[in-house]
Structure 1
Amino acid sequence: MTSVKNVLVALGVAFTAYMAARGLWWTETVLFPLAVVGALGFYLATTWLCIFWEPVRSAPTLSDAHATATVQRSQPRLPVLAQVLALACAAIVPTAISLSVEPSSRTAPFATWYLGGIGALMTIVMVRRRPWTAWTGIVLLAIASMMWMGVAGALALGLVGSIVWVTCAQLLTFSLDRAARDTGRLAQLQRAASAWQASQAMRQRERRVQVQEALAVAGPVLTRTVATGGALTEADRLEARLAEGRLRDEMRGPRLLDDDVRAELERARRRGANVTVLDEGGLEGLDEATLSIIRGQLAEALRSASSDRLYIRTSPDERVAVTVVGRSPSVGGPSEEDGVDLWREIPHPGVA
């Protein structure tokens, strides 16, 4: 399938070849035909080099919207050597053609083709994103053409058209680059929106799972409460407290829980301990095998605990994964502060 770029390249080659062919359609005497042919060859070689020369580019990094817009540009920037040749062409060709024909023939079509030809070349340079080079070439063309055929003659025979072509090319290039930048920003916004929607969907699934677990845990207790009209036995009250504790554990520290840890937490609560489980960060990104090791050490620490109050918290420290603190009333009565009778730091697996 023919792409838009290939069509534009074909049009550029055909148009510049037509402009050069006009220079060979001699209707009057030419003083130096070899100079004319040489100027035409130099012009075609330079023009087609500017059309087809694309430097090898490494794969870009899409780090921001500006990089995305750069990738989306249809043409890379024109190399420096091609710019130098284009400026040399704008400076040499008009003078070479004017000196090769009779002074009376300098306004003939075969001697004024360079006005449109150099204008087309500078339009190509502008499209290849070298605006300063393009406008410098137009200035050189204007100086040379006005010097050989006068200001009025140059403006009437094609200089104005060349200036208009380059101006339109600059405006079009600016518009395309701006559209590319806007497209890059829009793509970033779409990615951010998709990520937000995915996170919301994941949170909704997590909430549904938590609701189902809550119903599974609290459902039997609530059913007995409704059935008895709130007149619960001591065993029912104990089961209600255990259900409340399990729900708090599932909401506050799900990454710390497995069957063994849940069993030890329930055992501690059944003996009357007040247990608090908090996931305060630090376990993000750990795989299931690493979490299993941490949970196994946590279950072992709880199995040997006899404290009246147990605090289990994750740690953002790079060395410590979980801290287990146990407190019990000190000797001297409940009026004094509770003493720490258990302190266990569970390190990250592989950390000495």
Structure 2
Amino acid sequence: MTVRSILSGIALAFTAYLSARSLLWTLPETVERGWLLIAALVIYLPITWLWVLLPTRHHEAATGGASADTRAAPPRWALALAVLAAVLVPNAAFAAVNDAGRAQPFVTWVIGGIGALMTVVMVRRRPAIAWIGTGLLSLSAAVWLGPLSALSLGLVGSLVWVAAAQLITFALDRVARDAEQLSELQQAASAWQASQSGRQRERRLHVQRALHVAGPVLGRTIETGGNLRPSEKSAARLAEQSLRDELRSPRLLDDGVRAQIDAARRRGTIVMLFDEGGLEDLPASALSDIRTELARVVRDAASERLIIRTSPHHEVAVTVVGRTATAGAGADEDDVDLWREIRRPS
């Protein structure tokens, strides 16, 4: 059983109690048109119970492209019925009796009854209709009973109910907005924490890989006091280049790319990697395809120098340029013998 069903049951019971008083004619001699009292009851109960049990329709109002608030939207015919009840029910009850009977409970129940109906309308987020109906009730009661008598016979209570309902719904809406904002902040904090945890794991992996690559070389350097054999110096240079790759372009690297770059350097090829952005928004599957193709390009390359750059272009993910020195030319003069663009996966 939900809170809404409990509140709906209380509202049904309370409005039934108010309307049942119309059947207790304590002064039957004052009743001149009894059918009007019955008609007021017949009009009031279905409309009030309709508002209590009315299913909630929702509509979304987009604001700035973001998801928006959803509010209960009763149909227009229900709004018209509420206003109609506020006009007909009080006037029918007061017109059914003479002056002596208008202050009797079986007549003045309409003040509390319409007040309860307008309270339900207010809770349904229709304040304009609720206050229009309350104003019509107040006008009818003041005309038939006089302003002071109307206030003393329950009009004050109806006004207080409607005003309290408006304050409560306003407070609940504000609490809901604050709760939504808090939820968004919690989600942002969780995303930030997950991002930081991912970066920490990535840094740990980089440190572990650096220790795996450079640890033996550093240990041997310390052990020999820097007097390394030519093969050990070559291994140290390869380790230094591998560490530079890890710092400059971690998004380009996986085990396959590392292996092919290491093999190319052992063949004497100078390989330089530059991460200039553009791969941050790619999913893991797309990165895997790009790395697989990059490893294949590096494996098949015969250039003396390979320059590998990421690209922020919307179609090209990675550009591989191979250069080879021209025979008989200067040291700084070489030809482009390889140009390969690795496309972004569609």
1:100, distance to aligned residue in structure 2 (A): 0.8
2:305, 2:324 within 8 Å by CA — same for their partners in 1?
yes
Letter in 1 for 2:175: A
1:79, distance to aligned residue in structure 2 (A): 2.5
Write out the 4+ residue segments of structure 1 that deviate beyond 6 Å after TM superposition. Answer: 58-63
Corresponding residue for residue 39 of structure 1: 40
1:120, distance to aligned residue in structure 2 (A): 0.9
1:138, distance to aligned residue in structure 2 (A): 0.9
* Aligned 1:88-99 pairs, distance under 5 A: 88-99=84-95
Structure 2: where are the runs of 5+ without partners?
none
1:324, distance to aligned residue in structure 2 (A): 1.2
Deviations 1:75-116 (A, max 9, x none): x33322221111111111111111111222111222211111
1:305, distance to aligned residue in structure 2 (A): 3.6
2:57, 2:73 within 8 Å by CA — same for their partners in 1?
no
How many positions carry a matched residue from both structures?
Answer: 341
Corresponding residue for residue 294 of structure 2: 298
Q: Which moved more, 1:96-105 or 1:172-181?
A: 96-105
2:319, 2:341 within 8 Å by CA — same for their partners in 1?
yes
> Which residue, out of 279, 282, 285, partners 2:282?
285
Mark the CA change 1:174 to 1:66 in structure 2 (over 3 Å): closer, same or farther.
Answer: farther
Q: Structure 2-normalised TM-score?
A: 0.89
Q: Which moved more, 1:97-106 or 1:165-174?
A: 97-106
Letter in 2 for 1:17: A
* CA distance, structure 2, for counterparts of residue 131 and residue 111 of structure 1: 27
* CA distance, structure 1, for counterparts of residue 300 and residue 16 of structure 2: 92
Q: Which moved more, 1:218-227 or 1:322-331?
A: 322-331
> Which residue, out of 140, 162, 184, partners 1:144?
140
1:206, distance to aligned residue in structure 2 (A): 1.3
* CA distance, structure 2, for counterparts of residue 286 and residue 127 of structure 1: 47
Corresponding residue for residue 271 of structure 2: 275
* CA distance, structure 2, for counterparts of residue 286 and residue 4 of structure 1: 44
- Which structure has the higher relative contact order (CA within 8 Å, separation 6+)? 1
Corresponding residue for residue 310 of structure 2: 314
1:273, 1:308 within 8 Å by CA — same for their partners in 2?
yes
Mark the CA change 1:78 to 1:306 in structure 2 (over 3 Å): closer, same or farther.
Answer: closer
Deviations 1:7-63 (A, max 9, x none): 221221111111111111111121111111111111111111110011455899998
* CA distance, structure 2, for counterparts of residue 148 and residue 242 of structure 1: 101
Corresponding residue for residue 204 of structure 2: 208
* CA distance, structure 2, for counterparts of residue 113 and residue 224 of structure 1: 99
> Which residue, out of 243, 248, 253, partners 1:247?
243
Identical aligned residues as a percent: 52
Report SS of the residue matched to 1:14.
helix
Corresponding residue for residue 18 of structure 1: 17
Letter in 1 for 2:120: I
CA RMSD of superposed structures (Å): 2.7
* CA distance, structure 1, for counterparts of residue 213 and residue 146 of structure 2: 97
Corresponding residue for residue 220 of structure 1: 216
Structure 1: where are the runs of 5+ without partners?
none
Q: Which moved more, 1:295-304 or 1:10-19?
A: 295-304
Mark the CA change 1:203 to 1:13 in structure 2 (over 3 Å): closer, same or farther.
Answer: same
1:132, distance to aligned residue in structure 2 (A): 0.3
> Which residue, out of 78, 91, 111, partners 2:74?
78
Letter in 2 for 1:39: A
Matched, 1:266 2:262: yes
1:19, 1:117 within 8 Å by CA — same for their partners in 2?
yes
1:198, distance to aligned residue in structure 2 (A): 1.2
2:58, 2:73 within 8 Å by CA — same for their partners in 1?
no
Deviations 1:205-233 (A, max 9, x none): 11111111111100110110110112222
Mark the CA change 1:258 to 1:184 in structure 2 (over 3 Å): closer, same or farther.
Answer: closer
Mark the CA change 1:129 to 1:56 in structure 2 (over 3 Å): closer, same or farther.
Answer: closer
